[in-house]
Amino acid sequence: MNSPDVTTILRLLSDKSRVTILDILMDGRAYTVNEITSFTKLKQHTVSYHLKLLTEAKLTTVTQYGKFRYYSISDTITPELFEMLSNYSPLEPTKSYNQHFAKKELKQARTCYDHLAGELGVKIKDFLTSENIIAENKSTNDNYIVTTSGEGFLKEELNINVTDLKNKKRKFCINCLDWSERKNHIAGALAKAILDFLIEKQYIIRHSGSRAITITDKGKLFFKENWHIILADN
């Protein structure tokens, strides 16, 4: 039996420009070639070429809306692979204050595809486990289950219906090793629902072309008073 040719994927990920494009798409949103170009120092035709290769390898997908083509991460496997490789990769040297500030922002709070990562992501997972909202699970492929009291908490406080989440065709709540914190945050349907809630309430704000998350003043107050989470200011 022939083995999978993993060198194809490794060659794609060995190019810094393609990694930059994937990192942009790791915020879980879809962008046009023009938008991706505006977030980078690359030429438009270069971005188009790299997206063609990434799409052929099924790392990204393209969807046509009218005359515009939108590129996004193809599935949840790609961000899991990207985050895993990040844990084994050295950090790039900081060459300016802007780079230093951007790194601090990413470390504090960022998106990892469709869920939260960084210090905030890890502390949310710690809060959920310490308050017995989620508990370790050894009977299925999911790392965690929601407890009975946790189900009530999620419905009453976050308007999250656990039954609906479990019916989705994806993992419910799993560990995802955080490259900056070297601890687990959570991924899966529950983690996405929590991210959506925090954005809807404007406790956090996303930025186009960056995975960094800004925590608003009312978000800081919410995390401190309700989830006992205090984050250092940048």
- For the chain, helix (H) and strand (E) counts, in that order, are 11, 10
Token output for 197: 């809630």
Neighbours of 226 (CB within 10 A): 11
pLDDT tens string 88-139: 666 666 555 355 446 678 899 999 889 999 999 999 999 999 999 999 987 7
pLDDT in tens, 183-219: 999 999 999 999 999 999 999 999 888 889 999 999 9
| Domains in the chain: ranges and CATH | 7-74 (1.10.10.10), 97-227 (no CATH)
Q: Look up the pTM and report it.
A: 0.77
Query: Which residue type occupies 48?
Result: S
Q: For residues 32 and 71, is the Cβ–Cβ distance under 8 A? A: yes
